[in-house]
Amino acid sequence: MVNQDILIIWIKYQDGKPSEYLYSPEILQRLDFNKSPAIFKPKISAAQPGEDWMVVRPLQRSDYDKGFLQLLSQLTNVGNISRKLFDDRFTKMKQSGGYYVTVIEDTRVGKLIGAATLTIEQKFIHNCSLRGRLEDVVVNDTYRGKQLGKLIVVTVSLLAQELGCYKMSLDCKDKLIKFYESLGYKMEPGNSNAMNMRFDDPS
């Protein structure tokens, strides 16, 4: 089963106001970056991201006001999402379990500058094991040179391992293959093509 930490209401107070986490932030502090083949120069981790003003943490309900949707819009079409719609989706993701949206915040300005999502599939194969999928990786391009893309991907990949996944999968464009290979991902012989079926916008 998916780690039960996802079902607990995690609250952090910022400026006297409660802000709910999507999952337990304590998990990120336990990640061992020595398990990753990624090379960081200088060395950084989720617990010590390299700058005092930077923090790696789970998505918070209050991140609607910290530019989370604007950050995602640098990756793909987001749409016009109201606060109510955002809150409803946050609640459903938290209640259903299996969603680990992880972000990087610039605390100097209170804005999110990086994000990635781990979704966990419950399988019957491999003794009813768990499979992780890496999705929606995005870093604000004004923060280049700080290894943030590498940091967020390795964080979420190690998170999948920590939660007991037997495999982590992703789809990527050809130009990003070398990047992901440097982080430990491999092309599978005879199975290197990502195929999708898109449907009409349900709205």
Give, for all 203 residues of the chain, the pLDDT tens digit.
344 443 344 455 544 455 799 999 999 999 999 999 999 999 999 999 999 999 999 999 999 999 999 999 999 999 999 999 999 999 999 999 999 999 999 999 999 999 999 999 999 999 999 999 999 999 998 998 899 999 999 999 999 999 999 999 999 889 999 999 999 999 988 887 788 888 876 65
Q: What is the pLDDT of residue 202?
A: 62
Read off φ and ψ for residue 7, nearest 5 degrees: -90, -5
Q: What is the pLDDT of residue 118?
A: 98
CA proximity to 61, closest of 95, 104, 11, 99? 11
CA proximity to 27, closest of 44, 50, 54, 2? 2
Cβ atoms of residues 153 and 168 within 8 Å: no
Q: What is the pLDDT of residue 188?
A: 86
- The tens digit of pLDDT for each residue in 129-141 reads 999 999 999 999 8
What CATH topology corresponds to 4-181? Aminopeptidase (3.40.630)
pTM of the model: 0.88
Q: What is the pLDDT of residue 3?
A: 41
Counting Cβ atoms within 10 Å, is residue 71 exposed (0-12), middle (13-18) or buried (19+)? buried
**Residue for token pair 């050809």:** 174
User: What are the residue boundaries of the structural domains of the chain, listed by start?
Assistant: 4-181
CA proximity to 32, closest of 157, 167, 130, 139? 157
- The tens digit of pLDDT for each residue in 15-47 reads 445 579 999 999 999 999 999 999 999 999 999
Please provide the average confidence, as pLDDT, over all residues in the chain: 90
